[in-house]
Structure 1
């Protein structure tokens, strides 16, 4: 059996109630739940939360909330793998045998059902423990600067004269979803140690940690909707 686990704790500080804050017409977690359900990849879609209000919203949009996440893995420092392991341990204890599990973030409104389907194929074909979404950095990381004593300095001065087209392209975590073998999740194996990439375009990737991030994501969603011919939020 394949399950989706959507971590959604209630204690967000930078954007209060972030996981159920309205985003273009519905709670932001609804975008993740609906993509998971529409993908056809999962027999069960579980939301792992410590918050009754989040659980109620999750059920409204079709997810299951058969347990409340314990406080020990619901603080700012709880690793994602521990949250997924807890959900899979609950599955095993309740007779739900799983072979693959996808961790989907609750604040990732750009997830498409076809991305999830492609991710599963990538995981199976890649032969790794995980498959994760990534996107390219918009500029060469070899040309990065730091600020020290109020002045700029290159982190890697040896790359100063290298043409940007000759520098190796680099990628970062897109922060949308992570497919994995259930045994890898339950053993809390590091995702980066054995993972195949699911490459997403930059215009569909936005980490949402601050209100500025949130507004940027709304603008991006408006652009995507406009190019699909969808009605826009008039605000």
Structure 2
């Protein structure tokens, strides 16, 4: 059976951490357009859809070559489940005949503007070359639940999360990774039949830390802008 690869970017209008985040200018370009531009560089992508509840986001998506799926309001609140927004987008395309359950679903979030097409392609390749149910990007973290991550107990004191680890130096703690928002790759069928990225066999693909910056706060946005400016200056040399 011939299957298609379809990319999606999920960008709701009501961001609170950074107001208007998804189309806020980063180095002169709306944040969303970085995801669209990298998808354009990929081979074999049948379409790229932006799922949104915002007219300004929809306009930006269309102006830059992506198609739009409008999501219902209950999937665009602060408490909305992103997985359900994924399911809504896939169901919409299946019902319109533009996607089949065996087609490949690729989520390319707007919040990782320093990712490259090569990073996305690396995750797609890992998914296609393994028997995993879903592939995603990961990167090493300097914080570890075995060593320097704590929680507050009922008395307000802090305790290492994993108190039984027996680890007293960072160098001795097991390697741990952050899940990135570089890309998520699965099939429409797995997405519709399950409820989370960890519901089956999940493949982690290591991504350079700088490429994996995820914008959630203004500080993240400022840092991404600094890194983008540095990248651009290096390319100009």
TM-score w.r.t. length of structure 1:
0.89
1:41 & 1:81 partners in 2: Cα distance? 24
Structure 1 stretch displaced more, 161-170 or 68-77: 161-170
The within-5 A match list for 1:136-151 is 136-144=140-148, 145-146=150-151
Match of 1:208 among 212, 215, 221: 215
- The answer to whether the aligner puts 1:124 opposite 2:128 as a matched pair is yes
Higher normalized helix content (fraction of residues) = 1
Q: Aligned pairs, how many?
A: 229
Quick one: structure 1 residues 77 and 41, their matched pair in 2 at CA, closer, same or farther if it must change by over 3 Å? farther
- CA distance in 2: counterparts of 1:224 and 1:101, whole angstroms: 30
CA distance in structure 2 between the aligned counterparts of 1:165 and 1:214, rounded to whole angstroms: 30
Alignment check: 8 A CA contact 2:120 2:182 kept: no
Partner Cα separation in structure 1 for residue 121 and residue 39 of structure 2: 9
SS, match of residue 192 in structure 1: coil
Other-structure match for 1:35: 38
Q: Mind listing any 5+ residue stretches in structure 1 that lack a counterpart?
A: 231-235
Question: Is the partner of 2:110 in helix, strand or coil?
Answer: coil
Secondary structure of 1:43's counterpart equals strand
Give the TM-score of the pair, scaled to structure 2. 0.88
Q: Distance in 1 between matches of 2:171 and 2:46?
A: 45
For the 8 Å contact 1:85–1:188, the answer to whether it is kept is no
Runs of 4+ residues over 4 Å off in structure 1: 147-152, 157-161
| Pairwise CA RMSD | 1.9
Deviation digits for residues 120-179 of structure 1 (CA, Å, limit 9, x no counterpart): 110012211110011111244311234566655433445565443332100111122101
Question: How does 1:209-224 map onto structure 2 within 5 Å?
Answer: 209-224=216-231
Unaligned runs of 5+ in 2: none
Q: Given the superposition, is the C-alpha separation of residues 82 and 153 from structure 1 closer, same or farther in structure 2, using an over 3 Å criterion?
A: closer
Partners of 1:63 and 1:111 in 2: CA distance: 18
